[in-house]
């Protein structure tokens, strides 16, 4: 089945630094990837939709200059949290669509990345 | 506007009890998909089921069953003879096709604790 990986699985960084999270589709080419954020004991909230070769579409209230998304290839999307602050500490989850085998509704989720900003 | 409501924040049951997790959704579209996901303590989302808006047949998979009722906009999930391994957070989600990118709208989640 379709597998999505994320790296790193967890990261601790100091306030003011930037951290990059990778999302890879391992056995399929993903034209569209999604980035979600989940605060403790809360639901998943979509941050942005990432399309290969074009600019990401951000959800209302998500700062595009703070959360940089790059989808330069069909198997890799990256989320960079710039100038991270403790309030950015969260669980970041990506998902991907496989246009070859799945209909528009299918998303395959990565295992998530836990970010802690000290 | 699209919305998914999971009114039960936390449920606690004893092993072997049956438990039903409620999900109510709102959408203006006639074509949509509903999902249930399980999130164990590890955090990784586990896909459980997908149902499209034109298929109101109930589904059973082992100890899991789902009841989809368009008339009440509900898509409830029942676990029969619950086990400790069922302890997790369960999310109901809605996806609409119009607009292309099939955004998933998640409910708040229901935390299920199954005690031995």
Of B43, B97, B106, the CB nearest to A91: B43
- The reported pLDDT for the residue numbered A52 is 84
Q: What is the mean pLDDT of chain A?
A: 92
- Please give the DSSP secondary-structure letter assigned to residue A66: T
Look up residue B17 and give its two tokens: 């009890």
**Segment B49-58 mean pLDDT:** 88
Asked if B45 reaches chain A (Cβ–Cβ under 8 Å), the answer is yes
Which of B34, B29, B51, B53 shows the shortest CA–CA distance to B91? Answer: B34
* Residue A32 pLDDT greater than 80, yes or no: yes
Q: How far is CA B98 from the centre of its chain?
A: 22
* Residue A49 pLDDT greater than 60, yes or no: yes
Residue B100 pLDDT class (50, 70, 90 cuts): low
Asked if A45 reaches chain B (Cβ–Cβ under 8 Å), the answer is yes
- Residue pairs between chains A and B whose CB atoms are closer than 8 Å: 51
Contact A34, A96 (CB under 8 A): yes
From A13's Cα to the closest Cα of chain B, the distance in A is: 20
Counted residue by residue, chain A has a size of 118
Residue A102 pLDDT class (50, 70, 90 cuts): low
Residue A104 pLDDT class (50, 70, 90 cuts): low
* Residue A28 pLDDT greater than 90, yes or no: no
């Amino acid at each position: 089945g379709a597998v999505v990986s994320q790296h790193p699985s967890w990261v601790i960084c100091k306030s003011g630094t930037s951290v990059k999270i990778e999302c890879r589709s391992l056995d399929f080419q993903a034209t569209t990837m999604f980035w979600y954020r989940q605060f403790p004991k809360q639901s998943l909230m979509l941050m942005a939709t990432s399309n290969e070769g074009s600019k990401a579409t951000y959800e209302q209230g998500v700062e595009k200059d703070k959360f940089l998304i790059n989808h330069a290839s069909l198997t890799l999307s990256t989320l960079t949290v710039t100038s991270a602050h403790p309030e950015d500490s969260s669980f970041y989850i990506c998902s991907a669509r496989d246009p070859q085998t799945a209909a528009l509704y299918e998303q395959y989720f990565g295992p998530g990345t836990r970010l802690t900003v000290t | 506007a699209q919305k998914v409501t999971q009114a039960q924040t936390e449920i606690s049951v004893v092993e072997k009890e049956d438990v039903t997790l409620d999900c109510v959704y709102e959408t203006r579209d006639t074509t949509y998909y509903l999902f249930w996901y399980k999130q164990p303590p590890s955090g990784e989302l586990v896909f459980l089921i997908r149902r499209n808006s034109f298929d109101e047949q109930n589904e059973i998979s082992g100890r899991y069953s789902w009841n989809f009722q368009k008339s009440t906009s509900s898509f409830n999930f029942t676990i029969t003879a619950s086990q400790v391994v069922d302890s997790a957070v369960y999310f109901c989600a809605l996806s609409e096709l119009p607009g292309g990118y099939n955004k998933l709208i998640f409910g708040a989640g229901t935390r299920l604790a199954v005690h031995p």
